[in-house]
Chains A and B, each alone.
Chain A
Amino acid sequence: MYSRIINGNEYTFGVSGKLIRNALVMYDHETDSLWSQLLGESVQGLLMGTRLEYLPAVMTTWENWRSMHPDTRAIQKGYVGAQDPYEGYYGGTVLGVIGVQNRDDRLGDKEFVIGVELDRESAAYPFSVLNDEPVINDEIAGLPVVVAFDAEIGAGSVWERTLADGRVLEFAELRGALMRDTETGTLWDGITGQAVEGALAGDTLSPVPKTLVFWFAWFDFHPDTRLYGFE
């Protein structure tokens, strides 16, 4: 998710009908510049090279989101349940419409990974590894991060491990994405990044931009990516 504020001005986006390596290309209504969703940057037009500001969002079930935010509102659908006509694509063998340039067989093409790109360095955390290791303390481009995964809902988040006062935390898995930092013993919700119990209760970790994405698409964009669990 991105801010629509670019250099102080408000923009709105539409779907360009174009793809880069099978991934969404947006355009902005104000300048018609093209934007790669996966890169978060304008790739063509007046604003080429400009980077969008990343904003954190949580992917989870309606039930879970609703219990976290009882006052939440939800888009008016006008129909009951899900009408996702593209479900067959998830399990299918088709990789995009325009072919892939870079391919890697360490994972299945349609396996989901959490991808992070920071300061010229990219890393991918496969769901298959996160299933067994739902809390991963790691470092990307020198930045201490923790990857937390809830296998039940297939949602994951990435947070900085550095607090405002400079302390760097290490997290241990409790169950699922619930984790405890070894420094203060505080209990954290790894999906929302919130400290729910203990010395740091009320604090929130800083989000690290991440993408939940098919392995083939991540690798096509980031052929030099590190693949956690396969190093």
Chain B
Amino acid sequence: MSRRVTLLLFISLAGLLLSACAAANAPAAEPVSDPPGSNNAGGQPAAPAEAQALDPTAAPDLEGFQPTASPLFEQSYRANPISDRDYSQFEIVTLLPPDGIPALSFPAFYKAERADREYLPEEMVIGVEFNGDARAYPVELLSRHEIVNDTVGGIHLAVTW
């Protein structure tokens, strides 16, 4: 593949990724076993009780940032249960080699005063704060890296775009 084509592909892919990542947050939600097109709205009410049992040792160090945790939230999002979702419905298409778009890992940070010289006031950022450690990840930079591996206030996280 010529360099030019590779570059074009890169730009297309990176742009396209925006289709589904105009946010840092994707839902780590309950399993959906219904096939596409089925409508469970008129069926049985969704039952939080169906959430799978959690291994309490699996929870990361999240103390201090979840002030009003509810049982459903705890059951659904606080650990790593196995989903019974049917993945065969999701076709995986390869466009670039792994790391063709380079994720960032543990980048260097400025203090806010220094960052003011490079950040526009109206520029969009993903803001994260845990245990008093606040960090900003510029959206335009995330568009070019898709993923930032970082540790904030002791919380190991991946900002994804």
Q: List chain A residues, Cβ under 8 A from B21.
A: 23-24, 37-38, 213
Cβ-closest chain B residue relative to A59: B126
| B111 neighbours in A (Cβ, 8 Å) | 73
Asked whether, in the complex, the Cβ of B25 is within 8 Å of the Cβ of A1, the reply is yes
B90 contacts A36, CB within 8 Å?
yes
Question: Within A14-60, which residues are at the interface with B (CB < 8 Å)?
Answer: 14-27, 34, 36-41, 43-44, 48-60
| Number of B positions contacting A (CB below 8 A) | 118
Residue interface bits A167-209, CB-to-B below 8 A is 1, else 0: 0000000000000000000000000000000000001111011
- Complex Cα gap A27–B149 (Å): 12
B19-41 interface (Cβ within 8 A of A) = 19-34, 36-41
State whether A20 touches B91 (Cβ < 8 A). Answer: yes
B53 at interface, CB cutoff 8 A: no
The 6 nearest A-B residue pairs measured at CB: A23-B20, A212-B23, A17-B96, A40-B28, A69-B134, A74-B115
Q: CB distance A55 to B46 under 8 Å?
A: no
Q: Which residues of A contact B129 (CB under 8 A)?
A: 69, 72
B118 interfacial by beta-carbon distance below 8 Å: yes
With both beta carbons as reference points, the residue of chain A lying nearest to B30 in the complex is identified as A119
B29 in complex: contacting residue of A26, A27, A49, A117, CB < 8 Å: A117
- Give, as a whole number of angstroms, the nearest-CB distance from B26 to chain A: 5
Chain A residue, CB-CB nearest to B96: A17
Question: In the complex, A27→B99 CA distance in Å?
Answer: 10
**A118-B17 contact, Cβ under 8 Å, with A17-B101, A59-B125, A212-B25:** no
A-B contact pairs, 7 of them (CB 8 A): A7-B55, A12-B105, A19-B93, A52-B28, A84-B144, A211-B23, A216-B19
Please determine whether B16 and A19 come into contact, CB atoms closer than 8 angstroms: yes
Contact with A along B119-157 (1 / 0, CB 8 A): 111111111110010111111110111111100000111
Do the beta carbons of A75 and B124 come within 8 Å of each other?
Answer: no
The residue that A2 contacts in the complex, of B22, B28, B36, with Cβ under 8 A, is B28
B128 shortest CB reach to chain A, Å? 5
Count: A-B pairs, CB below 8 Å: 421
From A34, A55, A78, A116, B27 is in contact (CB under 8 Å) with A116
Let me know if B2 is at the binding interface, CB within 8 A.
no
Check A206/B70 contact, CB under 8 A, given A49-B82, A153-B124, A226-B41: yes
B1 interface hit (Cβ, 8 Å): no
Across the two chains, which residue of chain B brings its CB closest to A166? B70
Q: Kindly identify which residue among B37, B73, B146 contacts A223, using a CB–CB cutoff of 8 Å.
A: B37
Partner of A78, one of B18, B118, B146: B118
Alpha-carbon distance between A12 and B27 when the two chains are bound, in angstroms: 19
**Residue ranges of B at the interface with A (Cβ–Cβ < 8 Å):** 11-34, 36-41, 45-48, 50-51, 55, 57-58, 60, 66-70, 72-73, 76-85, 87, 90-105, 107-112, 115-129, 132, 134-141, 143-149, 155-161
A49 / chain B contacts, CB cutoff of 8 Å? 82-85, 87
Q: Is the CB of A160 within 8 A of B68?
A: yes
Q: How far is it, in angstroms, between the C-alpha of A7 and the C-alpha of B151 when the chains are bound? A: 17
The answer to whether A54 touches B28 (Cβ under 8 A) is yes
Q: What's the least CB distance linking B45 to chain A, in Å?
A: 6
Residue from the list A37, A203, A208 in contact with B26, Cβ < 8 A? A37
Complex partner residue of A119 from B48, B81, B128, B141, CB under 8 angstroms: B48
Interface residue? A131 (CB, 8 A): no
Q: Which residues of A are found within 8 Å of B132, using beta-carbon distances? A: 71
Q: In the bound complex, what is the Cα–Cα distance between A106 and B105 (angstroms)?
A: 40
Q: A58-B127, A90-B18, A206-B73 are in contact. Are A117 and B134 (CB under 8 A)?
A: no
Is A129 in the interface zone, CB < 8 Å from B?
no
Chain B residues near A132 (CB, 8 Å)? none
